[in-house]
Structure 1
Amino acid sequence: MRLRPLTALSAVAISALLLTGCSGSADPEPDPTADANADAADSQCLLDAQPSEASDAVTVEGSGNDAVVSLPSDYAIDDIARTVVNEGDGDDVHAGDLVTVHFSIVDAADGSVLDSSDRDGEDALPMLLDPQNSSLFVAALECQPLGSSVVLALPSSALGGGDTSLVVYAESVEKLPTIAQGTPVDPVEGMPTVELDDDGAPTITIPDADAPTETQIAVLQQGDGAEVAPGDLVAVQYRGVKWSDGSEFDSTWSRGGTPTQLPTTGVVTGFRKALEGQKVGSQVLVAMPPAEGYGEQEGHELQNETLVFVVDIVATAPIAQ
């Protein structure tokens, strides 16, 4: 199976390719790629790139954020290729996994670093291996044991044309949980109630009460991880229902239980308020009136609905500047 996004990515938008793939979306609406992502997590390799002279010729000194990637003179890439620098000893990584990654993205023409995981004092960055939004990392890390480090060579033809070819150094570090694992917090009176099944999927029950006129937020589980900052790219599980009848309108749980990754600036106001300032590992309940949901989107099916979300915050990362 060919990794479709590799033939459609723009090499001039490296940051968008790596950590802002969802930023074009204004709302947490149903993700048409999520079913594919869930299927991918249960399948074999999507691309399984093999070594070539180009990927073998790259040298890497050091590891993690200290890794230095060097290219030979007159370096050229003819096809997508991957060389394993060091093989890890963990379980194999697949599309759909949420892992922390050390990486450097290098311009194959001059060896300059275009982006890396060394940003804002961060160590390894969390990455949802989504074939649609983080396809470089799927191609680099899939079907290799956790802890592996690899070199991925990408010709410009695999990046949507142009003249820029890339060399990616990537090192998978840790597989992250995909549900909230914080300390339970007592429910807030008057808010919807939430029950979790054995997999962590929530069932939301709307109270027999008027819908709130202002956004209400309650922490159901208190995490102790990194705090979500404005503009961060956040990996979440969520379920959304209407206050009016309790019916579900969107859910990662209904799409295979694979998280989605989105920037806090790319969602409706009420959803953003539920994310920013919270800590990774938390589960948050938010009820938002139309004004902070889809009220301004004329003709939207949820324009006049008060919405309720249960959100598991499982990772966050700063977006490259």
Structure 2
Amino acid sequence: MASSPPPSQTPPTILHTLQVPSPVSALEFTPAGSLLVGSDDGTLRIYDLPDTKVLKAVRKLGAEISSVACVGDTGHLWLAGGRRIFLVDIGLPKILQSAEDALGSLELGEDDDDVVNEISLSFNRKVLAFSTDGGTVGVVDLASRKVQRMKARHDSICGAVRFIPDRPSELVSGGYDSALLHFDFQQRNILSRYHFSSPHQSSGVSLSPPFVLSLAVSPSGVIAAGTADGHLWIGMGGAKKASGSKKKRSRKWEGLREDEGNTIKIAEGPVVCVLFTDSSTIITSTLLGTVTQFSLSGGDEVDLAPKSEWVIEVAGIAKVNALAALPGRVVVGGFNKDGRGIVEVYQTNVVVSAGTQ
């Protein structure tokens, strides 16, 4: 693996550790800054940090909470659990809610084994995208509650789905078939695709396939994908061009163009979480808890080789399942060596070099 440059910022420091009875399976921040913690036991716990006591909870959803999506500032959330999604209102005064208190629910999985893995809200909050174990990518019109599935699907589990900024009918998904698929969800057709090729296997050495485990799209249209064999793929083909650029805006997003992408080996194990904190900053986590922040240069000429800014190793998490961030905060969740859920909250500290403005 190519050596990374030395970190350019002070690594985050741990502030809080939250203990949860069951493994943590999803993390999200509300627009107001409350921390949402979903777990395998079908419970969503809400925290108002720095208070580490549970503020409210939604229980008995019947399955692991695999993903959380905030509708807006109203306190409405969509929760994915099993083959269903639930709309709940955490703004209600009731401290403990259950599935019976949900404002609505939809069955998205096509059978009992076809559980929902990830949900994502469009930028106008009118459409929800979902991915399932059966490889399905679909959308829900939140006004009519109409469900549409794409005409094509992944050949294996689809674990990640994201809308594309400034493209009102386009989304991208990643699957265990080592593929990224780019859809027009109104037409339900594939617009483009990218397939990760398996590495050559050395004699006597078994290598992980390049399953796509995590996916993020920046506000400027850059895509980042983490794979099971420790790679981070950066696609710049769909990035917005700087003001004054001579290159015209493409009719469709071109983020999966092979000639404008780069695959970087960043770990020896699976890269299970990827997120953008802004248009040029990426945070990743491996399954065993190596959390790294990378930066990409801006402007028309973007450097496809991300620069490592800091690296930390989690303190008490044995396996990482989820990652979330706010300015000044990075939160990592999973389970400890005893199988109990755990969340670690870190404070990020930026060091400004001499001469930097």
Fold shared per TM-score above 0.5: no
TM-score of the superposed pair, with normalisation by structure 2: 0.27
Q: Which has the larger radius of gyration?
A: 1
| Structure with the larger helix share | 1
TM-score of the superposed pair, with normalisation by structure 1: 0.29
